[in-house]
Amino acid sequence: MAMQAAQLGLRYCESQIDLPDADRRITLYPAPSGSPAAYLWENFDNWFGAETKAVSVPHDVWSTGDSSHTPSIRPQCLVEATGIPGGQSYYVTARGFSPDFSADGRGRTKTGSVVWLQSTVALATAGSP
């Protein structure tokens, strides 16, 4: 189930990218400016703790009225611009948890499993095929 949860997190954030700002429920973070690039998804502090930047998939997206399973920890996702020249593109990173997942006080896995997935979303610009 961790894989399905991670896939749901990935699809959720991907679906938010092209929404108008007023409708979007996530933050689109800019590309890193340093060299070498330090992307937010690479820093675990952005996934757990007081400074978390990752978004937990909202309950209404995860479950339906006839759902038989509600996870103890919802999938998370994070979106940031790639910085690749020539268009608007984003790295979408997500993680999903197995039903038996538990973490220590630093958010590291104690039991169960975590699946991490990543995609690159490139938006078409006006006039492109």
Residue showing tokens 């340093």: 34
- Amino acid identity of residue 46, one-letter, is N
Two tokens, residue 73: 């920890």
Alpha carbon distance 94, 86 (integer Å): 25
Two tokens, residue 26: 């996530």
pLDDT for 127 equals 56
Residue 128 lies inside a defined structural domain of this protein = no
Residue 74 lies inside a defined structural domain of this protein = yes
Residue 60 lies inside a defined structural domain of this protein = yes
Domain count, the chain: 1
DSSP state of 115: E
Q: Which residues of the chain have pLDDT under 50?
A: none
Strands (E), 4-62: 28-29, 55-56
Residue 40 lies inside a defined structural domain of this protein = yes
pLDDT for 69 equals 65
pLDDT for 67 equals 65
pLDDT for 99 equals 93
Write out the residue range of the structural domain in which residue 14 sits: 2-123
Alpha carbon distance 63, 16 (integer Å): 18
- pTM value? 0.89
